[in-house]
């Protein structure tokens, strides 16, 4: 099972070197997220009025911001927060969505009705606007960004999981598990859920980029992350005030990091999809 998959993966990678690039970028971001604070040349929160608004130089690769903080260190350190928010929200969305979706597809009936209606209601909102409303209602905390992002991603997971579980409900291996005396919950969690994992993984990597964008967008308009914490969205927001006077570096570097991260996860999602499910290729 694993070996042909690996061979196929190698084939996809050789067909599409861009996916390889995405894996490289991913590794880079992981390093930054894990060791960012150790690698940062300066304290990301340390202000220095004498060094305010300096363009990129040998000492400050990405320049300094209005408080004289080193932007390179701040961009590096922010990786962890941004990726943690995105990962956490994607995992939460997966847990909510996969469980309720699988249950809906497997049991049908009123379970299906409720999950379907819930997903439809969420989809009736422009998603970013709903996320704004949720964070505003729950309170201006980072955890609420995670929750809001998870909620707006929930329908995608629920729908995919529902469709997949529905198809597999009558499959041979499910029947076999049922006949060998497994209860419904056990069949669901022990047999159907693991079976749809590959497709859910693809879904997760495809929504990861969107989750990063969404979280950064929320903090850009002042929700969730609060200064002086380093986070890409809020750093771009701070830099926005200086664009009109020509201090481009304050917004550019965190914005570029953000863009690169989203780009990386989108490519990764496409690549993973080609590896796991070539049928879905467009």
Q: Which residues bind another protein (CB under 8 A)?
A: 117, 120-122, 124-130, 132-134, 136-139, 209-210, 213, 216-217, 220-223, 233, 236-237, 239-240, 243-246, 248, 251-252, 255, 258-259, 262-263, 266-267, 270, 282
Contact predicate 102/196, CB 8 Å: yes
CB of 265 to another protein, least distance (A): 9
Between 91 and 256, name the residue whose CB sits nearer to another protein. 256
CB of 118 to another protein, least distance (A): 9
Between 71 and 251, name the residue whose CB sits nearer to another protein. 251
CB of 276 to another protein, least distance (A): 19
**DSSP class per residue in the chain:** -HHHHHHHHHHHHHH-HHHHHHHHHHHHHHHHHHHHHHH-SS-TT---GGGTTPPP-SSSTT-B-TT--BHHHHHHHHHHHHHHHHHHHHHHHHHHHHHHHHHHHHH-HHHHHHHHHHHHHHHTS-HHHHHHHHHHHH-S-HHHHHHHHHHHHHHHHHHHHHHHHHHHTT-HHHHHHHHTT--HHHIIIIIIHHHHHHHHHHHHHHHHHHHHHHHHHHHHTT-S--TTS--HHHHHHHHHHHHTTT-THHHHHHHHHHHHHHHHHHHHHHHHHHHH-GGG--
CB of 131 to another protein, least distance (A): 8
What is the spatial distance between Cα 217 and Cα 231, in angstroms, rounded to a whole number? 11
For residue 10, how far is the Cα from the chain centroid? 25
CB of 35 to another protein, least distance (A): 25
CB of 230 to another protein, least distance (A): 16
Between 127 and 177, name the residue whose CB sits nearer to another protein. 127
Between 105 and 239, name the residue whose CB sits nearer to another protein. 239
CB of 135 to another protein, least distance (A): 9
Between 213 and 276, name the residue whose CB sits nearer to another protein. 213
Between 9 and 130, name the residue whose CB sits nearer to another protein. 130
Between 196 and 237, name the residue whose CB sits nearer to another protein. 237
């Amino acid at each position: 099972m694993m070996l042909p998959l690996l061979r196929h993966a190698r084939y996809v990678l050789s067909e599409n070197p861009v996916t390889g690039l995405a894996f490289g970028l991913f590794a880079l971001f992981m390093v930054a997220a894990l060791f960012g604070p150790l690698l940062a040349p300066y304290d990301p929160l340390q202000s220095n009025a004498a060094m305010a608004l300096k363009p990129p130089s040998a000492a400050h690769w990405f320049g300094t911001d209005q408080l004289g903080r080193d932007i390179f260190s701040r961009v590096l350190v922010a990786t962890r927060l941004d990726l943690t928010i995105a990962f956490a929200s994607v995992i939460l969305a997966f847990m909510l969505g996969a469980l309720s979706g699988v249950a809906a597809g497997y049991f049908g009936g009123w379970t299906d009705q409720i999950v379907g209606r819930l997903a439809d209601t969420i989809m009736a909102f422009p998603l970013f606007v709903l996320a704004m409303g949720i964070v505003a209602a729950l309170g201006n905390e980072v955890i609420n960004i995670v929750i809001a992002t998870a909620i707006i991603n929930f329908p995608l997971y629920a729908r995919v999981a529902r469709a997949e579980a529905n198809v597999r409900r009558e499959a041979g291996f499910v029947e076999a598990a049922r006949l060998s005396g497994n209860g419904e919950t056990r069949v669901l969690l022990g047999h159907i859920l693991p079976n749809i994992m590959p497709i859910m993984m693809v879904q997760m990597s495809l929504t990861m980029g969107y989750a990063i964008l969404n979280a950064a967008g929320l903090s850009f308009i002042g929700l969730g992350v609060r200064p002086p914490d380093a986070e890409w969205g809020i750093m771009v927001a701070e830099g926005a005030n200086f664009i009109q006077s020509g201090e481009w570096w304050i917004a550019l570097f965190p914005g570029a990091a953000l863009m690169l991260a989203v780009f990386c996860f989108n490519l990764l999602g496409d690549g993973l999809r080609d590896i796991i499910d070539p049928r879905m290729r467009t």
